[in-house]
A and B are shown apart, each in its own frame.
Chain A
Amino acid sequence: MRIAHHLILSLLLAFLAGQPVGAVGSADALFDQGMQAYVAGGFAQAATNFREASALRITAGTLHNLGNAEWQSGHAGAAILAWEQAQWLDPFNPDTRGNLRFARKAAQVESPELAWYEICSAWLPVNAWAWLATVSFWIAATMVILPGVLRWRKADWQQGLAAAGFAVLLITLPALVGVHTRAQLGVVVSAATPLRLTPTQQAQVLAKLPAGESARLERQRGNYVFIRTATAGGWVERGQFGLVASSNSNP
C-alpha cells in the first residue's frame, strides 16, 4: 500500500513538473557521472554528462556544474552561457555569480548592460515574477469581487489586501518587461566569431567577437541571427550564439 502511495506521489510530482519519472532518474544518474568525471579530471566527459542531464531536466545546479566543466575544458563562451542560464534560474547562488565574474575577468569580456527594469527583474528567479504577478492580481481581484458577491460587510482588511495586491502587481510589471527583454540576451559561444554585415557566408566581416561576449538578439534570418553587442551590431551564425533563455540548454 505504501509503495503504491509512493508510486502515485512520484507520478503526480513528475506530471506536475512536466518530466517523465525515468527522465528524472537518468538526469540524476548523469549528474552523478558528471561529478565523478569532473573530479577525475575528465572535464570534456563531465561537460557531456552535465549537458545531457540538463537536456533531460533543467536545473540551476546542473547548469552551474556544466559551466565549470566547460570552463575547465577551455570553452569560455559555453561556460559563461551555462552560468548565465544557471543564474537565470537561481540568481541567489553566490558561486554562480562569482564564477561569472571570474570568467568574464579571465576572458576579458564585459557583463551585458542592463536597463533598470532588467536589473530589477534579475532580483528574483525568472518565473517568480510571473507567479508573483499572478498571485497578487488574483488576490486583488478576489478582494474586489468576493465581498460583493458573498455580501460580506466591507472591511478595511479586504480593501487593504486588494490595494496591496494591486501595488505588488504594479511593481512586478517592470520586472516582467525586464524578463521579456532579458530573454533576448545571449552569449557568443565560439572564439573569434565573425560579426558580418549581411547574413551570408561571403559577407564583409565587421569584427571578430570573443567567446563569452554578451549580445542581444534582434532578429533572425535563415541560419543567421542579428545580434547587437555593446559596441557593434551584425549577423552571426546561429550556432555561434546561445540565448540565455533558449528552448534547450545547449547552444
Chain B
Amino acid sequence: MIPAGLRLSAVPQFALLLLLLLPAHSAHGQSPPPTVLRPRQPLPTVRVNPGSLSINPQGQIDQFDQMVGSSASIDLDSPVTVRAEFEPATAALGQRITYRLILSALDESVEKLTTLPAPPGLKLSAGGRAQSYQPGPTGRLQPQTTLNFRATVTASGEFVVPAFTIKAYGKDVAVPAARLTVTSPGAAVAAEAPHLLFELPAGDIYVGQPLRVSLILADSADGSLQGPPQQPAIVGESIFVEPQALGARHELIQRNGRSFPAYVMEMVFTPVREGRQTLVAQATSYGRRPVPGQPGAIQFAQILLDSDPLEMTVLPLPKEGVLPGFTGAIGNYQVDAPVISTNEVVAGEVIVLNMHVRGEGNLGRLTPPKLSPLREWMTYPPITESAPPMMIQQRGYANFSYTLIPLSDRVKATPAIPFCCFDPKRKVYVDLTIPPVPITVHPVAAGAAMRSPGADGGTGGNAAETAAREHEPILSGLVEHPGPGAGALRPGQESGWFWAAQSIPAAILAGITWRARRRRYLAAHPAVLRQRRARRGLRRQLQVARRAAAARDARGYVTGAISALREACAPHGAANPDSLVCADILRELPAEDRQGPGAEMVRRFFAAADSLRYGGPVNDGAELLARQPELEQLLKRLGARI
C-alpha cells in the first residue's frame, strides 16, 4: 500500500509515474523491493472519492482500486467556481428566503463559514450543506458543494451580499455578490422555494435518547421538483444520525389546517451531548432551476433542500434512581423470560441463556448488561446479533445471549443479571433485571476431570492468560451463614466494658493473694479457727435445741443443748466437742456459774442425756424445757467467752 502521507488524490501524475516504474521491476524477474517514496515537498491532500489507487508490496495494482478508479473520472483540476444566489431573488417580507453558495469543489475542502458579510437588516444563519457530483464542462464529473443559509430580513428593500472570498483546497476563491429584493407583504412575487418540514417529538429529550423524526417534503403540484428526495440527513453539532432512513412514503399530510401530498422519510438520530443545539434537516432533489447567464432558460438540476433550523434542548439523564445494570438503554423496553439451552448440566458444561428485548427505543444499538465475574460461574461477555442495527430496529426486538458455565454442583439457578432502562416519558429508571432460571447441576463424575473453559480454546488464551484470569479478582457469592455475632464494630479496647472486664482477673489475683495470706495467718493462729468453728457449732446446735423446744421434743432439746454446751466449751480445752463430758463443761463454766444454778442445770442436762444414751426416758423433760431461757443465758455467756 502507499504510505499514509501519500494518499493519492490530486496527484494522478504521481500515480502514473509509479505505474510506469513498476514494469521495470517486473522485467528483472525478481520480486521488487517495497517502494518507498519520500516527496521533498508536502503534497496537497485532496481526497479522491471514490477510492484511491494503491499498490501492494509486490508492485501490483490493487484490482479493486483499479475497478473503482476506472468507474468515474473526477475533475479536480479545473479552477473552482462559485455561484451565489438568493432563492427567490425577489421575495415578499416574511417569505422564506434561502441564500445559497454553490462551489465546484469537494465539501471537505471548503472552509466552514462562521460569518458572512451580510448587509444591515439581513441576517444569514447556517442551513444545509451537501456535496454531489455533476457533469462538468470537460465531460468529467465535477464535485459540487452547496451551502444553504437561511436569510431573515426585517424590512423591505434591496439587500446585497457583497463579493467576498472563501477558501477551497486551501486557496482563496472569489464569491460574487448576490442581490435580494424584498417587497412589502402581499406583493406578487415568486412562489416560496421548496423546503423540508421537520419537527422534534414532544416531551423532554435526554442524552442518548433515540429520536424518531419525520422529514416531510411537499410534493410540488407545479412540477418544480421531480421525484422523492434523496440523501436525507439531519445536521447538528452533537448528534449521531443513523445512516439509513427507516423508510420513505408518499402520503397526504394534514398541516396547519390544509392537506397536501408529500414525501415522508423516517429518520432516527441520537443526541450525544446535553445542552442546546441547532438542528437542520436536509435532502437533495431534482428541480427546475434557471440556467446561469441565460435569462429565461430553465434546466433540471440537483438542488439542496433544507428545513428551518430547530433549537433542541438536551437534558442529562437524572442521577437519582439509577438502577443496577444501566447500559444506556433509553426507551420503553420489556424483557421476556430468559430461555436457557438446558436446565440440567454437569458442572463445567456450557449453558446458553438467551434474552429477548422488545419495545420502543433504539433496539438496534442496545448494549446488553455485562455479568459481573462470579465465583461459581465462568461467564463470558454477552453476544449480540450480527444483524445490522436498522434491521433489528425495524424488526422490533433484539436478542442477546450469555454463555455461562457452572463451576460447582452447588449452583441452583442461573445468576440474576441486573439490567434497567430509562423511560423518558415517565422520567424514571425501569428495572429489567433478568431473573434467575432454576437449573440442576450434577457433580463431575469421579475420575473425570472437569473441562476447563479455556482449555478447548473457546475463549482462547495460553497458560499465562489462564493464570492471569485465575488471579483476576471476581465477585464472590453470598455467605450462607451469618457467622458469630460481634457486639459492635468499635474496637474492644475503646469500650468501657473491656476495661471493666480487666477487674475480673485482677480480683481473682487479689483474692488468691488474700486467701494465701489468710491461710498462713490461720496456720499461725489455730485458736482463731477453733473459735470460729465453736461459734458456728454453737449457733447451729442452739438452733437445733430451739426447734426441739418449740416442738416440745425433750429428747431433741436435750441433745441439742448438750451439743451446744460442748461446742461453746471446746475451744478453751482445744478438744473435740464430742469428747467433752459433764465435768469438762463444769470446769469451763464462768466462775459465778460453777457453784450456782448454772452448774446444777448442766448436770441435769447431762443426766438426762445419759438416761437417753442408755435407752431410758428423759428425766425431768418438762422442767428442762421450762429452763430454756436460763440455758440460753448460759450459752450466751459461754459464747461471749469464745
Interface residues of A (CB under 8 A from B): 17-19, 24, 27-28, 31, 35, 38-41, 43, 53, 57-62, 64-65, 68, 71-74, 85, 88-90, 93, 95-96, 98-99, 101-103, 105, 126-127, 129-131, 133-134, 138, 141-142, 145-146, 149-151, 176, 179-180, 183, 191, 244-249
B416 touches which one: A40, A176, A247 (CB < 8 A)? A40
B616 on the A face (CB < 8 A): no
Closest A-B pairs by Cβ, 9 of them: A41-B416, A95-B476, A102-B473, A101-B473, A61-B479, A61-B483, A61-B482, A59-B482, A74-B324
B487 on the A face (CB < 8 A): yes
Proximity string of chain B (396-437) to chain A, C-beta cutoff 8 Å, 1 when within and 0 when not: 000000000000000011001110000000000000011110
A149 and B514 CA atoms in complex are apart in Å by: 9
B293 on the A face (CB < 8 A): no
A39 and B435 CA atoms in complex are apart in Å by: 9
B493 on the A face (CB < 8 A): yes
Q: Is A40 touching B493 in the complex (CB atoms < 8 A)?
A: no
A138 and B476 CA atoms in complex are apart in Å by: 41
Q: Is A85 touching B489 in the complex (CB atoms < 8 A)?
A: yes
B433 touches which one: A41, A88, A138, A244 (CB < 8 A)? A41
Whether A149 contacts B512 in the complex (CB less than 8 A), given A41-B434, A90-B483, A99-B476, comes out as yes
B447 on the A face (CB < 8 A): no
Separation in Å of the B403 CB from the closest CB of chain A? 19
Interface residues of B (CB under 8 A from A): 319, 322-326, 372-373, 375, 412-413, 416-418, 433-436, 473-494, 498, 501-502, 505, 509, 512-513, 516-517
Residues of B near A64 (CB, < 8 A) are 478-479
Residues of A near B372 (CB, < 8 A) are 71-72, 102
Q: Is B486 touching A127 in the complex (CB atoms < 8 A)?
A: yes
B488 touches which one: A43, A58, A68, A72 (CB < 8 A)? A58
Separation in Å of the B640 CB from the closest CB of chain A? 36
Residues of B near A138 (CB, < 8 A) are 505, 509
Whether A176 contacts B487 in the complex (CB less than 8 A), given A95-B375, A105-B473, A149-B516, comes out as no
A130 touches which one: B324, B416, B498 (CB < 8 A)? B498
Q: Is A89 touching B486 in the complex (CB atoms < 8 A)?
A: yes
The chain A residue sitting closest to B373, CB to CB, is A102
B323 touches which one: A57, A74, A133 (CB < 8 A)? A74
Q: Would you give 26 A-B contacts (Cβ < 8 Å), ordered by A?
A: A38-B416, A39-B416, A39-B478, A40-B416, A40-B435, A41-B435, A59-B484, A59-B485, A74-B324, A85-B489, A95-B479, A96-B476, A101-B473, A102-B372, A102-B373, A103-B475, A105-B473, A126-B489, A126-B491, A127-B486, A130-B492, A134-B502, A142-B509, A146-B512, A183-B494, A246-B489
The chain A residue sitting closest to B502, CB to CB, is A134
Q: Is A72 touching B324 in the complex (CB atoms < 8 A)?
A: yes
Most buried by A among B323, B435, B479: B479
Q: Is B475 touching A68 in the complex (CB atoms < 8 A)?
A: yes
Whether A68 contacts B435 in the complex (CB less than 8 A), given A90-B483, A130-B491, comes out as no
Given contact pairs A98-B473, A245-B490, a sample of 15 additional A-B residue pairs in the complex whose CB atoms are under 8 Å apart:
A27-B485, A41-B416, A43-B324, A58-B488, A59-B484, A71-B475, A74-B323, A95-B375, A95-B477, A98-B476, A99-B475, A102-B475, A130-B493, A247-B489, A249-B489
Residues of B near A68 (CB, < 8 A) are 475-478
Most buried by A among B413, B433, B435, B492: B492
Q: Is A31 touching B476 in the complex (CB atoms < 8 A)?
A: no
Separation in Å of the B97 CB from the closest CB of chain A? 48
Q: Is B492 touching A127 in the complex (CB atoms < 8 A)?
A: yes
Separation in Å of the B162 CB from the closest CB of chain A? 51
Residues of B near A146 (CB, < 8 A) are 509, 512
Whether A57 contacts B485 in the complex (CB less than 8 A), given A39-B436, A68-B478, comes out as yes
Residues of A near B434 (CB, < 8 A) are 41
Residues of B near A129 (CB, < 8 A) are 493
Whether A43 contacts B475 in the complex (CB less than 8 A), given A130-B498, A245-B491, comes out as no
A88 and B505 CA atoms in complex are apart in Å by: 28
Residues of B near A31 (CB, < 8 A) are 482
Q: Is A39 touching B413 in the complex (CB atoms < 8 A)?
A: yes
A198 and B545 CA atoms in complex are apart in Å by: 85
Residues of B near A17 (CB, < 8 A) are 485, 487
Whether A102 contacts B416 in the complex (CB less than 8 A), given A41-B433, A60-B483, A142-B509, comes out as no
A244 and B478 CA atoms in complex are apart in Å by: 20
Separation in Å of the B413 CB from the closest CB of chain A? 7
Q: Is B488 touching A247 in the complex (CB atoms < 8 A)?
A: yes
A41 and B319 CA atoms in complex are apart in Å by: 22
Q: Is B324 touching A73 in the complex (CB atoms < 8 A)?
A: yes
The chain B residue sitting closest to A249, CB to CB, is B489
A101 and B484 CA atoms in complex are apart in Å by: 24
A242 and B4 CA atoms in complex are apart in Å by: 55
Residues of A near B502 (CB, < 8 A) are 134
Residues of B near A145 (CB, < 8 A) are 509, 513
Separation in Å of the A29 CB from the closest CB of chain B? 11
